[in-house]
Amino acid sequence: MMFIGRPSRLLKTISSSFVVKAIYRTEELQVSRYLMLFYVFDQKGVWMMYPNKIVSKKRLAKSTYEFWIENALVGSHARPGQFVVVRVSEKGERIPLTIAETKGDLFRIVVKAIGKSTYELCTKSVDDILADVVGPLGKPSEIKQYGNVLVIGGGVGIAVILPIAKALKKAGNNITVIIGAKTLDELILKDEFMFADKLVMATDDGSSGYKGTVIDAMKEQIKTQKYDVAWAVGPAIMMKLASNVANEINLPLWVSLNSIMIDGTGMCGGCRTLVKTQESEEIKYVCVDGPEFDGRYVDWDSFMKRLEQYREQERLALENFIKQVGDLSWL
Ligand code: FAD
Ligand code: FES
Protein backbone atom coordinates (compact mmCIF):
# COMPACT_ATOMS: atom_id res chain seq x y z
CA MET A 1 0.00 0.00 0.00
CA MET A 2 1.34 3.45 -0.82
CA PHE A 3 0.22 6.88 0.23
CA ILE A 4 1.67 10.13 -1.13
CA GLY A 5 1.74 13.34 0.94
CA ARG A 6 1.08 13.95 4.61
CA PRO A 7 -2.06 12.36 6.01
CA SER A 8 -4.93 14.76 6.67
CA ARG A 9 -6.36 15.39 10.15
CA LEU A 10 -9.47 13.48 9.09
CA LEU A 11 -7.42 10.39 8.27
CA LYS A 12 -5.66 10.71 11.59
CA THR A 13 -8.84 10.95 13.57
CA ILE A 14 -11.08 8.51 11.75
CA SER A 15 -10.60 4.79 11.59
CA SER A 16 -13.35 3.09 9.65
CA SER A 17 -14.13 0.85 6.78
CA PHE A 18 -14.48 3.79 4.42
CA VAL A 19 -11.02 5.13 5.27
CA VAL A 20 -8.77 2.15 4.70
CA LYS A 21 -9.65 -1.40 5.39
CA ALA A 22 -7.67 -4.50 4.61
CA ILE A 23 -9.58 -7.71 4.81
CA TYR A 24 -7.54 -10.85 4.61
CA ARG A 25 -9.55 -13.87 3.71
CA THR A 26 -8.41 -17.38 4.38
CA GLU A 27 -11.35 -19.14 2.83
CA GLU A 28 -10.32 -22.66 3.78
CA LEU A 29 -10.06 -21.79 7.43
CA GLN A 30 -13.20 -19.61 7.41
CA VAL A 31 -11.48 -17.08 9.63
CA SER A 32 -12.01 -13.92 7.59
CA ARG A 33 -14.16 -12.38 10.34
CA TYR A 34 -11.29 -12.60 12.76
CA LEU A 35 -8.73 -11.22 10.36
CA MET A 36 -10.50 -7.97 9.62
CA LEU A 37 -7.91 -5.27 10.19
CA PHE A 38 -8.12 -1.49 10.10
CA TYR A 39 -5.29 0.77 9.10
CA VAL A 40 -4.95 4.54 9.53
CA PHE A 41 -2.04 6.87 10.07
CA ASP A 42 -0.60 7.68 13.47
CA GLN A 43 0.79 11.15 14.36
CA LYS A 44 3.96 10.53 12.38
CA GLY A 45 2.16 9.32 9.30
CA VAL A 46 2.92 5.65 9.92
CA TRP A 47 0.33 3.00 9.04
CA MET A 48 -1.28 1.69 12.21
CA MET A 49 -3.56 -1.24 12.75
CA TYR A 50 -6.77 -0.96 14.78
CA PRO A 51 -8.33 -4.34 15.27
CA ASN A 52 -11.43 -3.19 17.25
CA LYS A 53 -11.26 -6.39 19.25
CA ILE A 54 -13.37 -6.84 22.37
CA VAL A 55 -10.86 -7.59 25.12
CA SER A 56 -13.29 -7.70 28.02
CA LYS A 57 -17.01 -7.76 28.65
CA LYS A 58 -18.92 -7.44 31.91
CA ARG A 59 -22.62 -7.38 32.71
CA LEU A 60 -23.36 -4.31 34.85
CA ALA A 61 -27.13 -4.63 35.05
CA LYS A 62 -29.95 -6.25 33.11
CA SER A 63 -29.30 -5.63 29.37
CA THR A 64 -26.40 -3.31 30.22
CA TYR A 65 -22.82 -4.33 29.43
CA GLU A 66 -19.40 -2.80 29.69
CA PHE A 67 -16.87 -3.51 26.94
CA TRP A 68 -13.19 -2.71 26.67
CA ILE A 69 -12.19 -2.46 23.02
CA GLU A 70 -8.75 -2.42 21.52
CA ASN A 71 -8.20 0.64 19.33
CA ALA A 72 -5.06 2.67 20.02
CA LEU A 73 -6.31 5.67 18.06
CA VAL A 74 -9.41 6.09 20.21
CA GLY A 75 -7.54 5.04 23.36
CA SER A 76 -4.89 7.70 22.94
CA HIS A 77 -6.95 10.61 21.60
CA ALA A 78 -10.32 10.50 23.38
CA ARG A 79 -11.28 13.22 25.83
CA PRO A 80 -14.23 13.36 28.26
CA GLY A 81 -17.53 13.92 26.49
CA GLN A 82 -16.49 12.37 23.18
CA PHE A 83 -18.01 9.36 21.50
CA VAL A 84 -17.39 6.72 18.86
CA VAL A 85 -19.67 5.49 16.10
CA VAL A 86 -19.64 1.71 16.03
CA ARG A 87 -20.82 -0.74 13.43
CA VAL A 88 -21.15 -4.12 15.06
CA SER A 89 -21.30 -6.20 11.88
CA GLU A 90 -20.67 -5.60 8.18
CA LYS A 91 -24.38 -5.06 7.40
CA GLY A 92 -25.15 -3.33 10.67
CA GLU A 93 -26.20 0.25 11.40
CA ARG A 94 -23.81 2.82 12.82
CA ILE A 95 -24.54 3.59 16.46
CA PRO A 96 -23.01 6.34 18.60
CA LEU A 97 -21.65 5.34 22.02
CA THR A 98 -19.83 7.48 24.57
CA ILE A 99 -16.23 6.72 25.47
CA ALA A 100 -16.51 6.06 29.20
CA GLU A 101 -12.77 5.66 29.85
CA THR A 102 -9.48 4.97 28.12
CA LYS A 103 -6.42 2.98 29.15
CA GLY A 104 -3.44 2.64 26.80
CA ASP A 105 -4.68 1.14 23.55
CA LEU A 106 -8.10 0.39 24.99
CA PHE A 107 -11.32 2.29 25.37
CA ARG A 108 -14.39 1.47 27.41
CA ILE A 109 -18.05 1.72 26.44
CA VAL A 110 -21.18 0.95 28.44
CA VAL A 111 -24.11 -0.18 26.33
CA LYS A 112 -27.77 -0.58 27.15
CA ALA A 113 -29.61 -2.91 24.79
CA ILE A 114 -32.72 -1.11 23.58
CA GLY A 115 -32.93 -1.96 19.88
CA LYS A 116 -31.46 -4.18 17.15
CA SER A 117 -27.90 -2.84 17.08
CA THR A 118 -27.41 -2.46 20.82
CA TYR A 119 -28.84 -5.97 21.34
CA GLU A 120 -26.50 -7.30 18.67
CA LEU A 121 -23.52 -5.62 20.37
CA CYS A 122 -24.49 -6.99 23.77
CA THR A 123 -24.50 -10.53 22.36
CA LYS A 124 -20.83 -10.17 21.32
CA SER A 125 -18.12 -11.87 23.33
CA VAL A 126 -14.48 -11.39 24.23
CA ASP A 127 -12.22 -11.77 21.15
CA ASP A 128 -15.03 -10.82 18.75
CA ILE A 129 -14.15 -8.01 16.34
CA LEU A 130 -16.40 -5.03 15.68
CA ALA A 131 -16.86 -4.27 11.98
CA ASP A 132 -15.71 -0.68 12.47
CA VAL A 133 -15.21 2.10 14.94
CA VAL A 134 -15.11 5.79 14.00
CA GLY A 135 -13.78 8.25 16.52
CA PRO A 136 -13.16 9.95 18.80
CA LEU A 137 -15.96 12.23 17.61
CA GLY A 138 -17.73 15.31 18.95
CA LYS A 139 -16.48 18.22 20.97
CA PRO A 140 -14.96 17.33 24.33
CA SER A 141 -16.65 18.64 27.49
CA GLU A 142 -15.50 22.08 28.59
CA ILE A 143 -13.41 21.12 31.60
CA LYS A 144 -12.09 23.96 33.74
CA GLN A 145 -12.22 25.25 37.28
CA TYR A 146 -15.75 26.53 37.84
CA GLY A 147 -16.09 26.12 41.61
CA ASN A 148 -19.14 24.10 42.65
CA VAL A 149 -20.30 21.66 40.01
CA LEU A 150 -23.38 19.44 40.02
CA VAL A 151 -23.15 16.32 37.82
CA ILE A 152 -26.27 14.20 37.27
CA GLY A 153 -26.49 10.82 35.53
CA GLY A 154 -29.56 8.71 34.91
CA GLY A 155 -29.57 5.09 33.66
CA VAL A 156 -26.82 4.49 31.11
CA GLY A 157 -26.10 8.25 31.27
CA ILE A 158 -24.17 7.39 34.46
CA ALA A 159 -21.42 5.97 32.22
CA VAL A 160 -21.40 9.18 30.17
CA ILE A 161 -20.93 11.46 33.20
CA LEU A 162 -18.19 9.33 34.78
CA PRO A 163 -15.22 10.67 32.72
CA ILE A 164 -16.65 14.20 32.85
CA ALA A 165 -17.03 14.17 36.64
CA LYS A 166 -13.52 12.71 37.07
CA ALA A 167 -11.98 15.38 34.83
CA LEU A 168 -13.91 18.18 36.61
CA LYS A 169 -12.66 16.89 39.96
CA LYS A 170 -9.09 16.77 38.62
CA ALA A 171 -9.49 20.39 37.46
CA GLY A 172 -10.05 21.42 41.08
CA ASN A 173 -13.84 21.65 41.28
CA ASN A 174 -16.03 20.73 44.21
CA ILE A 175 -18.21 17.98 42.78
CA THR A 176 -21.66 16.83 43.78
CA VAL A 177 -22.71 13.73 41.83
CA ILE A 178 -26.30 12.51 41.66
CA ILE A 179 -26.80 9.13 40.00
CA GLY A 180 -30.14 7.48 39.63
CA ALA A 181 -31.98 4.47 38.27
CA LYS A 182 -35.30 2.72 38.78
CA THR A 183 -33.87 0.23 41.28
CA LEU A 184 -30.56 -0.51 43.02
CA ASP A 185 -29.82 -3.32 40.51
CA GLU A 186 -29.83 -0.80 37.67
CA LEU A 187 -27.62 1.72 39.43
CA ILE A 188 -24.43 1.07 37.47
CA LEU A 189 -20.83 2.10 38.29
CA LYS A 190 -21.76 3.47 41.72
CA ASP A 191 -18.43 2.37 43.26
CA GLU A 192 -16.52 4.45 40.72
CA PHE A 193 -17.88 7.79 41.96
CA MET A 194 -16.28 7.64 45.40
CA PHE A 195 -13.96 10.53 44.40
CA ALA A 196 -16.93 12.94 44.42
CA ASP A 197 -17.13 15.45 47.27
CA LYS A 198 -20.77 14.45 47.65
CA LEU A 199 -22.48 11.43 46.10
CA VAL A 200 -26.27 11.06 46.09
CA MET A 201 -27.70 7.77 44.86
CA ALA A 202 -31.35 7.95 43.92
CA THR A 203 -33.66 5.06 43.17
CA ASP A 204 -37.28 5.43 42.05
CA ASP A 205 -38.36 2.57 44.34
CA GLY A 206 -36.17 3.60 47.29
CA SER A 207 -34.23 0.30 47.17
CA SER A 208 -31.09 2.31 47.94
CA GLY A 209 -30.27 5.86 48.97
CA TYR A 210 -32.64 8.71 48.16
CA LYS A 211 -36.17 7.60 47.20
CA GLY A 212 -37.15 9.44 44.06
CA THR A 213 -35.83 10.46 40.66
CA VAL A 214 -32.58 12.31 40.00
CA ILE A 215 -34.73 15.38 39.31
CA ASP A 216 -36.24 15.19 42.81
CA ALA A 217 -32.70 14.81 44.21
CA MET A 218 -31.51 17.75 42.11
CA LYS A 219 -34.31 19.98 43.49
CA GLU A 220 -33.33 18.98 47.05
CA GLN A 221 -29.66 19.62 46.37
CA ILE A 222 -30.06 23.13 44.95
CA LYS A 223 -32.03 24.20 48.04
CA THR A 224 -28.86 23.96 50.17
CA GLN A 225 -25.97 24.46 47.74
CA LYS A 226 -25.28 27.07 45.08
CA TYR A 227 -23.73 25.68 41.89
CA ASP A 228 -21.73 27.44 39.17
CA VAL A 229 -22.45 24.93 36.43
CA ALA A 230 -24.10 21.52 36.01
CA TRP A 231 -24.12 18.49 33.72
CA ALA A 232 -27.10 16.15 33.31
CA VAL A 233 -27.04 13.07 31.08
CA GLY A 234 -29.67 10.37 30.74
CA PRO A 235 -32.95 9.72 28.92
CA ALA A 236 -34.22 12.74 26.95
CA ILE A 237 -37.10 13.34 29.34
CA MET A 238 -34.73 13.45 32.31
CA MET A 239 -32.44 15.95 30.54
CA LYS A 240 -35.46 18.09 29.62
CA LEU A 241 -36.69 18.18 33.22
CA ALA A 242 -33.20 18.94 34.56
CA SER A 243 -32.94 21.78 32.03
CA ASN A 244 -36.27 23.22 33.21
CA VAL A 245 -35.04 23.21 36.81
CA ALA A 246 -31.73 24.81 35.75
CA ASN A 247 -33.63 27.46 33.80
CA GLU A 248 -35.59 28.48 36.90
CA ILE A 249 -32.39 29.20 38.86
CA ASN A 250 -30.37 30.46 35.90
CA LEU A 251 -27.84 27.64 36.16
CA PRO A 252 -25.90 26.71 33.00
CA LEU A 253 -26.54 22.98 32.49
CA TRP A 254 -24.82 20.83 29.88
CA VAL A 255 -26.72 17.87 28.48
CA SER A 256 -25.33 15.23 26.09
CA LEU A 257 -27.92 14.72 23.37
CA ASN A 258 -28.61 11.11 22.37
CA SER A 259 -29.97 11.95 18.94
CA ILE A 260 -30.26 9.56 16.01
CA MET A 261 -26.98 9.61 14.08
CA ILE A 262 -25.89 8.11 10.80
CA ASP A 263 -22.45 9.25 9.64
CA GLY A 264 -21.44 11.10 12.82
CA THR A 265 -19.39 13.60 10.83
CA GLY A 266 -21.84 16.43 10.05
CA MET A 267 -22.78 15.35 6.54
CA CYS A 268 -26.10 13.48 6.68
CA GLY A 269 -28.18 15.87 8.80
CA GLY A 270 -29.62 12.95 10.79
CA CYS A 271 -28.77 14.50 14.16
CA ARG A 272 -29.95 18.05 13.50
CA THR A 273 -31.41 19.79 16.52
CA LEU A 274 -32.98 23.17 17.15
CA VAL A 275 -31.25 25.33 19.73
CA LYS A 276 -33.17 28.49 20.71
CA THR A 277 -32.09 31.44 22.77
CA GLN A 278 -34.01 34.69 23.27
CA GLU A 279 -31.97 36.27 20.46
CA SER A 280 -31.58 33.44 17.98
CA GLU A 281 -32.79 30.12 16.70
CA GLU A 282 -30.15 27.85 15.22
CA ILE A 283 -29.97 24.37 13.72
CA LYS A 284 -27.08 22.47 15.28
CA TYR A 285 -25.62 19.09 14.37
CA VAL A 286 -25.17 17.03 17.51
CA CYS A 287 -22.28 14.99 16.06
CA VAL A 288 -20.04 17.96 15.26
CA ASP A 289 -21.48 20.91 17.25
CA GLY A 290 -22.14 18.71 20.29
CA PRO A 291 -22.97 16.26 21.71
CA GLU A 292 -23.13 18.69 24.65
CA PHE A 293 -25.40 21.73 24.61
CA ASP A 294 -26.76 24.02 27.27
CA GLY A 295 -30.02 22.20 27.92
CA ARG A 296 -31.82 25.45 28.73
CA TYR A 297 -31.74 26.33 25.03
CA VAL A 298 -32.49 22.95 23.43
CA ASP A 299 -35.91 22.77 21.77
CA TRP A 300 -36.88 19.60 23.63
CA ASP A 301 -40.24 19.08 21.95
CA SER A 302 -38.77 18.85 18.43
CA PHE A 303 -35.77 16.88 19.74
CA MET A 304 -37.96 14.24 21.35
CA LYS A 305 -40.25 14.09 18.35
CA ARG A 306 -37.29 13.32 16.08
CA LEU A 307 -36.30 10.43 18.35
CA GLU A 308 -39.70 8.87 17.66
CA GLN A 309 -39.64 9.12 13.88
CA TYR A 310 -38.40 5.56 13.10
CA ARG A 311 -40.13 3.80 16.00
CA GLU A 312 -42.00 1.31 13.76
CA GLN A 313 -38.91 0.42 11.67
CA GLU A 314 -36.88 0.05 14.88
CA ARG A 315 -39.49 -2.26 16.35
CA LEU A 316 -39.52 -4.43 13.21
CA ALA A 317 -35.70 -4.54 13.04
CA LEU A 318 -35.52 -5.82 16.63
CA GLU A 319 -38.34 -8.31 16.02
CA ASN A 320 -36.52 -9.72 12.96
CA PHE A 321 -33.21 -9.87 14.84
CA ILE A 322 -34.81 -11.82 17.68
CA LYS A 323 -36.37 -14.20 15.13
CA GLN A 324 -32.86 -14.90 13.78
CA VAL A 325 -30.96 -15.27 17.05
CA GLY A 326 -33.66 -16.49 19.45
CA ASP A 327 -34.78 -15.25 22.83
CA LEU A 328 -32.66 -12.43 24.27
CA SER A 329 -34.49 -11.85 27.54
CA TRP A 330 -31.45 -13.35 29.37
CA LEU A 331 -29.21 -10.44 28.32
P1 FAD B 1 -32.96 1.56 17.76
O2 FAD B 1 -33.70 0.51 17.06
O3 FAD B 1 -32.27 2.59 16.94
O4 FAD B 1 -33.89 2.33 18.79
C5 FAD B 1 -34.65 1.67 19.75
C6 FAD B 1 -35.85 2.47 20.17
O7 FAD B 1 -35.96 2.44 21.57
C8 FAD B 1 -35.78 3.95 19.81
O9 FAD B 1 -37.00 4.31 19.26
C10 FAD B 1 -35.58 4.66 21.11
O11 FAD B 1 -36.22 5.90 21.12
C12 FAD B 1 -36.24 3.73 22.08
N13 FAD B 1 -35.69 3.84 23.41
C14 FAD B 1 -34.94 4.83 23.88
N15 FAD B 1 -34.60 4.61 25.14
C16 FAD B 1 -35.15 3.45 25.49
C17 FAD B 1 -35.15 2.68 26.65
N18 FAD B 1 -34.50 3.08 27.73
N19 FAD B 1 -35.79 1.51 26.63
C20 FAD B 1 -36.45 1.10 25.54
N21 FAD B 1 -36.50 1.80 24.42
C22 FAD B 1 -35.86 2.96 24.38
N23 FAD B 1 -26.25 4.40 24.40
C24 FAD B 1 -25.63 3.59 25.29
O25 FAD B 1 -26.15 2.53 25.64
N26 FAD B 1 -24.42 3.94 25.83
C27 FAD B 1 -23.77 5.09 25.47
O28 FAD B 1 -22.67 5.37 25.97
C29 FAD B 1 -24.41 5.95 24.53
N30 FAD B 1 -23.82 7.09 24.13
C31 FAD B 1 -24.40 7.86 23.18
C32 FAD B 1 -23.72 8.99 22.73
C33 FAD B 1 -24.26 9.79 21.75
C34 FAD B 1 -23.52 10.99 21.27
C35 FAD B 1 -25.54 9.45 21.21
C36 FAD B 1 -26.11 10.30 20.13
C37 FAD B 1 -26.21 8.31 21.63
C38 FAD B 1 -25.66 7.50 22.61
N39 FAD B 1 -26.28 6.34 23.05
C40 FAD B 1 -25.67 5.55 24.00
C41 FAD B 1 -27.58 5.89 22.50
C42 FAD B 1 -27.34 4.80 21.47
O43 FAD B 1 -26.64 5.33 20.39
C44 FAD B 1 -28.69 4.24 21.03
O45 FAD B 1 -29.25 3.53 22.10
C46 FAD B 1 -28.52 3.30 19.85
O47 FAD B 1 -28.16 4.02 18.70
C48 FAD B 1 -29.83 2.58 19.61
O49 FAD B 1 -29.66 1.76 18.49
P50 FAD B 1 -30.50 0.40 18.37
O51 FAD B 1 -30.41 -0.06 16.97
O52 FAD B 1 -30.09 -0.56 19.42
O53 FAD B 1 -31.95 0.84 18.74
FE1 FES C 1 -24.97 12.94 10.26
FE2 FES C 1 -24.71 14.31 12.51
S3 FES C 1 -24.96 12.21 12.27
S4 FES C 1 -24.92 15.08 10.52
pLDDT of 7 > 50? The answer is no
Domain coordinates in residue numbering, the chain: 9-137, 148-307
Taking the centre of ligand 2 as the mean of its atom positions, its distance from the CA of residue 226, in whole angstroms, is 36
pLDDT of 26 > 50? The answer is no
Q: What are the pLDDT digits (tens) for 154-196?
A: 999 999 999 999 999 999 999 999 999 999 999 999 999 999 9
Average pLDDT, the chain: 87
Q: Is the CB of 83 under 6 A from ligand 1?
A: yes
Comparing 30-44, 83-97, 195-209, which segment has the lowest mean pLDDT? 30-44
Q: What are the pLDDT digits (tens) for 254-274?
A: 999 999 998 888 999 999 999
Q: Is the CB of 111 under 6 A from ligand 1?
A: yes
Q: Which atom of ligand 2 is nearest to the CA of 266?
A: 4
pLDDT of 120 > 80? The answer is yes
pLDDT of 23 > 50? The answer is no
Task: Give the model's pLDDT for residue 8.
Answer: 43
Domain 148-307 annotated CATH 3.40.50.150: no
Q: What are the pLDDT digits (tens) for 31-63?
A: 333 334 445 555 555 545 568 999 999 999 999
- Please say whether the beta carbons of 183 and 166 come within 8 A: no
Mind giving me the DSSP string for 69-103?
EE-HHHHHH--TT-EEEEESSTTPPEEEEE--EEE
Q: Identify which has the larger pLDDT, 305 or 279.
A: 305
Task: Give the model's pLDDT for residue 277.
Answer: 81
Task: Give the model's pLDDT for residue 153.
Answer: 97
Domain 9-137 annotated CATH 2.40.30.10: yes
Q: Where are the alpha helices (DSSP H) in the chain?
A: 9-13, 72-77, 116-122, 157-170, 214-224, 236-248, 286-289, 300-307, 311-325
Q: Is the CB of 261 under 6 A from ligand 1?
A: yes
Q: Which atom of ligand 1 is nearest to the CA of 259?
A: 36
Taking the centre of ligand 2 as the mean of its atom positions, its distance from the CA of residue 291, in whole angstroms, is 11
Q: What are the pLDDT digits (tens) for 298-310?
A: 999 999 999 988 8
pLDDT of 30 > 50? The answer is no
Name the pLDDT band for 208 (thresholds 50, 70, 90): confident
For residue 270, which ligand has an atom nearest its CA?
2
pLDDT of 147 > 60? The answer is yes
Atom 47 in ligand 1: residue holding the nearest Cα: 95
The backbone torsions φ and ψ at residue 241, rounded to the nearest 5 degrees and listed phi first, read -65, -40
For residue 113, which ligand has an atom nearest its CA?
1
pTM here is 0.86
Comparing 49-53, 203-207, 277-281, which segment has the lowest mean pLDDT? 49-53
Name the pLDDT band for 1 (thresholds 50, 70, 90): very low
Task: Give the model's pLDDT for residue 209.
Answer: 85
Residue of 139, 271, 284 best suited for mutating to test ligand 2, as the one with most atoms within 8 Å of CB: 271
pLDDT of 91 > 90? The answer is no
Q: Is the CB of 264 under 6 A from ligand 2?
A: yes
**Burial class (CB within 10 angstroms; exposed 0-12, middle 13-18, buried 19+) of 326:** exposed
Taking the centre of ligand 2 as the mean of its atom positions, its distance from the CA of residue 134, in whole angstroms, is 13
Q: Is the CB of 285 under 6 A from ligand 2?
A: yes
Atom 1 in ligand 2: residue holding the nearest Cα: 268
Task: Give the model's pLDDT for residue 49.
Answer: 56
Task: Give the model's pLDDT for residue 40.
Answer: 53
pLDDT of 243 > 60? The answer is yes
| Angstrom distance (rounded) from CA 111 to CA 65 | 5
Task: Give the model's pLDDT for residue 28.
Answer: 30
187: left (phi over 0), alpha (psi -120 to 50) or beta: beta
Q: Is the CB of 261 under 6 A from ligand 2?
A: yes
- Please say whether the beta carbons of 271 and 259 come within 8 A: yes
For residue 137, which ligand has an atom nearest its CA?
1
Q: Is the CB of 95 under 6 A from ligand 1?
A: yes
Q: Is the CB of 267 under 6 A from ligand 2?
A: yes
Name the pLDDT band for 238 (thresholds 50, 70, 90): very high
Beta-bridge mates of residue 106: 70, 103
Task: Give the model's pLDDT for residue 48.
Answer: 54
| Angstrom distance (rounded) from CA 286 to CA 271 | 6
Q: Which atom of ligand 1 is nearest to the CA of 118?
A: 52
Q: Is the CB of 118 under 6 A from ligand 1?
A: yes
Taking the centre of ligand 2 as the mean of its atom positions, its distance from the CA of residue 23, in whole angstroms, is 27
Give the residue from 1, 81, 8, 82 showing the smallest Cα distance to 49. Answer: 1
Atom 41 in ligand 1: residue holding the nearest Cα: 258
